Structure 1
């Protein structure tokens, strides 16, 4: 049973049945209890799907599982989501804000959502701090390259209430994230004085007092507490209370705090707020106040949801937490729909027209609760003839069109007519229009949900520069591989049109994917970078997905058109487009990135002799691997492995070696099928590896020369009988193995629908038969 306390109101428990020696009658009784308490059941399809399909199997265990499945399928309550993964595994799950699907043994990489809240116009204030220059005279001298962006980190009392380990985790992650931004960017104009934030007013009724710049005074009094996001700002960070009475007598009351000698204050809290309720929310963010000359944010709050830090097998790794905090910090600095109307051009002048009386942008959108930016910043673009399953539509997109962003995104996709960078169109307030579109920028750090390892690309750095507030160092940007050089057809059309056009040409629909929705066909494969194992995230939903996002006209083995309408990618923000995604292994902190040594499985669970290390890459399997155990008396399939992580060595002009167990296997050309036979850990392993392009594996090395590709690719398929003979010889050598030759019938013993019957027959006839 899974610990459900950390999921709060969205809690669920589950049973995972994957033990062929389990007492299924006990599981059946527990399953009934879970169904009636909104639980979750997952049945491992490796053995049981075949058994359940056999109508002649009337064993009491099989009947129990059938009855459980029947109860699951007939459950139509509104708060239950019935899902089937691409390999046919059935699960029952409560509806949550963003669906992240559970899978036996591993799950498609867990989604972490970002929630950003912009202060509305009743909360948004200018502070009293100014830049070196004033608004009507010359600009300040820019910083030199030796200067750093000084961010003061202030930890709220809520952080000290966490355990020591949790405190250390947050502080180390915040230090790493702020360290990155302190080096990558710096404000164009230095602040004139220490930061003292303005005290908040009880109402929007204020007086504006003009001297050489505007100061906002509260009507009658200031609030006793001033907030920044979820925390109360310390008094030492605040200015005096500025008030004007009804007779227009204006004065400053009380003393001002000492202030903060920095360019930005980051308030960090760990409060379980209502914005933490969705189970996928790791942290939230908000900017607080702007400096009074250039409108740059000078204070912000990130709140880490405490329950996401708790629990062993559900805890996130450090790299993921750092990435999330980098993301949230950027919301406080620039990436917010509430800040777009305050952007300035390269001369420091506002892109968006201002009200001369208030200095605020002229138009306020009451629905979105943000000031409306100029079309020099945001534009709506209509995509004509947007292809969906039910026909074509006019799709309205919102594009960020500032100069540097436009140039970067055109160059990235190889599309010279692209209007700008598309913003997210889905999700609630705090997600839509405040992130890059997930379908087009999947692993960019500023998309709306973390689904696999993300990068801060030059696109996001360009946004910082285009705000008019920061100088940036593009040396800190990392390559964004998703969608690169795929052209206007990719970036301007739906994923349905892209997938259809590729399949018509018999081409790979990369970066999207297709997998069989029927049982036993799910397949793990290598990412295009070969640095991780991935799996196509095509799933079946309980209900048809929205019509504009339906992708498939047909699917293998499915004739029901209503059923086809329920299939799509499991990431909603990616417009339900299916794509290959990282895996996270259940009940562990392991994921499928090859270069992380922490992902190394124990020898008992290392079914394909994998090696995770900084010198490892992913290699596709050419066949299902077999493992011979119990001194070669029993055999099991390593399914659905289909790919694995292995250490490699590059040999110039020769190719590269793949190290598997104690042996090395040479890859000389792309597509080569290398036969693997290895004895490790009292087992014998047999299978094949498909060699990838040498340039992908070794091409980044200095002075490395890949061997010339042959004019033809010799077929290196080893006959099943020869492979069996080789295994037999190894077993004979290791264990003085002396038994009858293995027959083809025994190949499939572990997955045939009559497994138990066959097992009994062969057990009686020969106790030495291989199983």
Structure 2
């Protein structure tokens, strides 16, 4: 009865109006109609009395139309039972009554809303101890009975898929026939356990998620009240929920994880220190949707309290050091239990067998804790005779009533650490005792509260001593040694005063709302936990300047100040970077690598331009059409076809930024900006999600009683998109003389992918002429690349292919560490900057100065192959981006025509290098067929990347190290490297120019090229030199003679040529001619006096004479004309093209040099049962698997899944749960 009465007070239900009757099960059916019923139908092992069944119709014959005959009604007139639940109670020795099992139970039937209504509990006679109806043995037996009733009420793995939202909606998807829509996790995720059949149901992701913690997979309950409890209890705002026991022999445990919740009554082990029913278990019942709990029935715990995220995530013992020495232990020294109820010892022992590898904390494999449930952690646990509440545990000196340590056991006694010894020990000594039990009381009238400890000088005389702080050392008259003051909270209690109101639970003295939104309480304000004064003080908000992102346009504007990014959590369906789901995806197909399987979650990116009508309508009609109908749609279309993302499920929402913030564990806005911008563009109010704003804040995340909070309602958001791009056209201060547009990224999702950006077109530079459209489109694509994440600030947010952050995150913000007043290796001081880890970016000293290089795998691999430099140490970033540690562009000197170099070249291309960056960002999967060939520096070797462009000899002679790229003569006539244009040398002399010494290539320090390519003079296309534009053909003044026989058309190229028509002279040494390639042979077509002339060649520089012209035509580079920079045939899956060669993405390899597809680098992709390490091509297998490809189990694995909630310490794990009679 006391066990039943506890739950009658703790849980409320909607009463059953007419009472309960059980439902008959059919042993045979015909077209869905019961033909015969099960005889002697049981609930667990108890036969259900015939009088408890509801009427059931059975028929002999039925047809498809539903017409039946020979029908009768079974149990037609039974009287309903006046209860909300029926529990059958029995006491029989069965096969389930294994040693140590006092009871086991099962749920048998449920109502139409899934709430349990019938169940059974069986007590095992051999373990019933009737000798005491009070005392420690009775208390432990009562705890077991309450535990079993909890299972019967629905705390079990079998019940988790049936849980409902507060409005009654099932949390787990229901499909046809009432079955569940979620697929099974793989065995490696289920702690090595197999499941019985495909019909086994698993809870949906709003109930249970799987994540990798403490070296193995765990199932975590993430329902709202449970999550809010554990976040507040552990003081870990990022904790998604409460872990379930992973050593229950099932995929999902029916208990809380012993390692995290040891004294909780729904952990699997009966604790000698006493088990308690905390608000965690009551929160579970609230989240089932079947009950409303009475949180005043919850008991306050201390195990793991306020220990932070590390306590929940890290292993208990690391390098022979306990993670928390009040809970875990490494030595046999005596201690007190954390709740002070018992003297305790350490469970570390040398076991008879080796522990599982993931639980081996010491060098000896069999050294560890003695119990599997707390992950074999050595635990501080109570002695059998150590309970301070029971007087029988007191030990006196022989033949005396004198306690050598002055102990007194009783209901008010608690354990403290002590070295006290009576001054007169009667000739005896005591060794090995470091703890004792003493009566304690708490005086709360003082501040801080005073603890009064009574120490027995004799059987009749007790000496009171006082203390106020944990660890305070106290001496006692008549004793040698000292006492250590215990934690005052453990003596004075951690309850909430006044009592918490409705929909609130008490955690560590704070009232925490059980619902998603805070509940305002009209009760007096308690002193907040952050303020040690008697007068209540709200958490002080931190005011911040309105942060704005710096743009990165295609000329000189660059990010000069980094800032923490605004994160806007978006809705995703099983995002592969969610640590709870990404291993599931990786394990679906053992024949494919994790990255390959994860790719299936990615879809073409949806970008939604949001037009600023005010600024765009102010443009001329031609420029409006250029921006709105051409540039933006074409640039967006390119990136949508190039990049894939995990699509947002539901509407896209922006996040409001706080103007001032309460720096609670989970920061809360004290106020928000009335008008917020994405750089220049005001964000529409309708685009925001909901925001909680608190005018006063008490407790963790402003959830304490007295907090005054309200929620700014969400707008409509933006549907069917993965990225919102605000587009405007305003002539701003950032619109320099050569700036067509600038752009920035404004907000990111929870996995750091940019989800919002702005692009501003500068009206004064818009040009609607068709002849310049290609260049303006390339600028638009360039700026969108910045908005999509190609910026210096975003390097620190990059992730690897498994979704792990490349750069360590700050524990408080969850973002990369923001350094202030940082002196960069290049000498620049930045007021704020995020330095990426060296697996992303490294600094080197080259050519006399510091350079920054990206070193991510695909970027580096592309560049090594492209330059034919296998020892290349990184890909250099632009060092002339003003005032920055590292640039937001590729280095202009070695990537002059690349789309993401800082200057608009005569012809920029979207090469595989930029696409490799987006692949390595971890936010996108890339369609590498969108890359364009690039020839600048291609196959020029390592010197091209590292040496200076011009050498200056001792006699003052200047020599270009790569003469078809760099130059020294301003009068030089040449071709661009890609042969699309006639070119000139950019060297010039500028009075007063003062460049660093390491950039001086001429004896005259005022002579140089432009600054971005390190002042290197380069061959750059004339504005009228494009061979593909027919209007660029020039004639002598007053003549129509084509003196060089040139042809300007779409397939024309620049070639070195001194050809001249008879009778003409010219200083030009280049010309444009049509050319095609077949099998490596180039066919060149010229315009002769009487028609077209053709000739062929196959060697670069081969001299050709063409009649009737004088002079010589030199064969162009077949690498360019034959387009051998492209890969033919096209590269296959998991590959990209670099300088005409297909290369594998990170994590893949080619079977042979001629292969056109790549396979996983690790054997069989670790069979889906492990993690592939690409650096050494090895697998780290998940628990329960071994072999080089993780295809072999390490031990036999059970093939039966049980859905009950029993354990060896409470009861045997077995397919039954209890049920009882619950009267209303």
Q: Shorter chain as normaliser: what TM range? A: 0.5 to 0.7
Q: Contact 2:604–2:641 at 8 Å: present in 1 too?
A: yes
Asked if residue 261 in structure 1 is aligned to residue 720 in structure 2, the reply is yes
TM value normalised by structure 1: 0.63
Give the 5 Å matches for 1:55-454: 113=555, 115-117=557-559, 120-121=562-563, 124-133=565-574, 135-139=578-582, 142=598, 144=600, 147-157=603-613, 158-171=615-628, 172-187=630-645, 189-203=646-660, 205-207=661-663, 210=666, 217-219=668-670, 221-247=671-697, 248=702, 249=707, 250-276=709-735, 278-292=736-750, 294-309=751-766, 317-366=772-821, 367=830, 369-383=832-846, 386=847, 393=848, 395-429=849-883, 432-454=886-908
Q: 1:691 — aligned with what?
A: 1114
For 1:566 and 1:617, the matched residues in 2 are separated by: 34
**1:465 shift after superposition:** 1.1
Instruction: Find the structure with the greater CA-based Rg.
Output: 2
Q: 2:966 — aligned with what?
A: 513
Q: Contact 1:415–1:488 at 8 Å: present in 2 too?
A: yes
User: Are the structure 2 counterparts of residues 349 and 660 from structure 1 closer, same or farther at C-alpha, using a change threshold of 3 Å?
Assistant: same
Q: Contact 1:531–1:617 at 8 Å: present in 2 too?
A: yes
For 1:453 and 1:408, the matched residues in 2 are separated by: 21
For 2:960 and 2:843, the matched residues in 1 are separated by: 33
For residues 591-619 of structure 1, the C-alpha deviation after alignment (integer angstroms, 9 at most, x for no partner) is 32212345456896876454321132223
For residues 184-207 of structure 1, the C-alpha deviation after alignment (integer angstroms, 9 at most, x for no partner) is 1111x332331110123334x355
Q: Contact 2:686–2:714 at 8 Å: present in 1 too?
A: no
Q: 2:979 — aligned with what?
A: 530
User: Are the structure 2 counterparts of residues 331 and 505 from structure 1 closer, same or farther at C-alpha, using a change threshold of 3 Å?
Assistant: closer
Q: Contact 1:117–1:285 at 8 Å: present in 2 too?
A: no
**1:417 shift after superposition:** 2.0
User: Are the structure 2 counterparts of residues 544 and 233 from structure 1 closer, same or farther at C-alpha, using a change threshold of 3 Å?
Assistant: closer
Q: 1:749 — aligned with what?
A: none
Larger displacement relative to structure 2 (243-252 or 423-432)? 423-432
For 1:694 and 1:310, the matched residues in 2 are separated by: 34
For residues 271-329 of structure 1, the C-alpha deviation after alignment (integer angstroms, 9 at most, x for no partner) is 111111x212111111011112x1111000111111001598xx981111111111111
For 1:409 and 1:597, the matched residues in 2 are separated by: 35
Q: 1:663 — aligned with what?
A: 1091
**1:354 shift after superposition:** 1.5
Q: 1:643 — aligned with what?
A: 1070
**1:657 shift after superposition:** 3.6
User: Are the structure 2 counterparts of residues 194 and 513 from structure 1 closer, same or farther at C-alpha, using a change threshold of 3 Å?
Assistant: same
User: Are the structure 2 counterparts of residues 613 and 666 from structure 1 closer, same or farther at C-alpha, using a change threshold of 3 Å?
Assistant: closer
User: Are the structure 2 counterparts of residues 194 and 217 from structure 1 closer, same or farther at C-alpha, using a change threshold of 3 Å?
Assistant: farther
Higher relative helix content: 1
What do you get for the CA RMSD once the two structures are aligned?
A: 3.5
Task: For residue 862 of structure 2, give the secondary structure of its aligned residue in structure 1.
Answer: helix
**1:693 shift after superposition:** 4.5
Q: Give 1:484's match in structure 2, choosing from 929, 932, 938.
A: 938
Task: For residue 1049 of structure 2, give the secondary structure of its aligned residue in structure 1.
Answer: coil
For residues 672-711 of structure 1, the C-alpha deviation after alignment (integer angstroms, 9 at most, x for no partner) is 353565xxxxxxxx75341314846864599xxxxxxxxx
User: Are the structure 2 counterparts of residues 592 and 543 from structure 1 closer, same or farther at C-alpha, using a change threshold of 3 Å?
Assistant: same
User: Are the structure 2 counterparts of residues 598 and 325 from structure 1 closer, same or farther at C-alpha, using a change threshold of 3 Å?
Assistant: farther
For residues 542-584 of structure 1, the C-alpha deviation after alignment (integer angstroms, 9 at most, x for no partner) is 134413344445xxxxxxx5xx222222x21001111211111
Q: Contact 1:624–1:642 at 8 Å: present in 2 too?
A: no
Asked if residue 579 in structure 1 is aligned to residue 1032 in structure 2, the reply is no
For residues 31-89 of structure 1, the C-alpha deviation after alignment (integer angstroms, 9 at most, x for no partner) is xxxxxxxxxxxxxxxxxxxxxxxxxxxxxxxxxxxxxxxxxxxxxxxxxxxxxxxxxxx
Q: Contact 1:130–1:291 at 8 Å: present in 2 too?
A: no
Q: 1:455 — aligned with what?
A: 909
Asked if residue 672 in structure 1 is aligned to residue 1103 in structure 2, the reply is yes
**1:396 shift after superposition:** 1.1
Q: Contact 2:1082–2:1121 at 8 Å: present in 1 too?
A: no
**1:257 shift after superposition:** 2.8
User: Are the structure 2 counterparts of residues 507 and 496 from structure 1 closer, same or farther at C-alpha, using a change threshold of 3 Å?
Assistant: closer
For 1:605 and 1:567, the matched residues in 2 are separated by: 38
Asked if residue 565 in structure 1 is aligned to residue 1016 in structure 2, the reply is no
User: Are the structure 2 counterparts of residues 624 and 228 from structure 1 closer, same or farther at C-alpha, using a change threshold of 3 Å?
Assistant: same
Q: Contact 1:649–1:658 at 8 Å: present in 2 too?
A: no
Q: Contact 1:177–1:322 at 8 Å: present in 2 too?
A: yes
For 1:275 and 1:264, the matched residues in 2 are separated by: 24
For 1:654 and 1:138, the matched residues in 2 are separated by: 54
User: Are the structure 2 counterparts of residues 489 and 500 from structure 1 closer, same or farther at C-alpha, using a change threshold of 3 Å?
Assistant: farther
Task: For residue 634 of structure 2, give the secondary structure of its aligned residue in structure 1.
Answer: helix
Q: 1:617 — aligned with what?
A: 1053
Gaps of 5+ in 1: 1-110, 211-215, 387-392, 554-560, 585-590, 629-636, 678-685, 703-771
TM value normalised by structure 2: 0.40
For 1:431 and 1:306, the matched residues in 2 are separated by: 31
User: Are the structure 2 counterparts of residues 694 and 473 from structure 1 closer, same or farther at C-alpha, using a change threshold of 3 Å?
Assistant: closer
Task: For residue 894 of structure 2, give the secondary structure of its aligned residue in structure 1.
Answer: coil
User: Are the structure 2 counterparts of residues 420 and 700 from structure 1 closer, same or farther at C-alpha, using a change threshold of 3 Å?
Assistant: closer
User: Are the structure 2 counterparts of residues 206 and 333 from structure 1 closer, same or farther at C-alpha, using a change threshold of 3 Å?
Assistant: farther
For 1:147 and 1:358, the matched residues in 2 are separated by: 30
For 1:310 and 1:260, the matched residues in 2 are separated by: 33
Task: For residue 604 of structure 2, give the secondary structure of its aligned residue in structure 1.
Answer: coil
**1:240 shift after superposition:** 3.0
**1:379 shift after superposition:** 1.1
Task: For residue 592 of structure 1, give the secondary structure of its aligned residue in structure 2.
Answer: strand
Q: Contact 2:1055–2:1116 at 8 Å: present in 1 too?
A: no
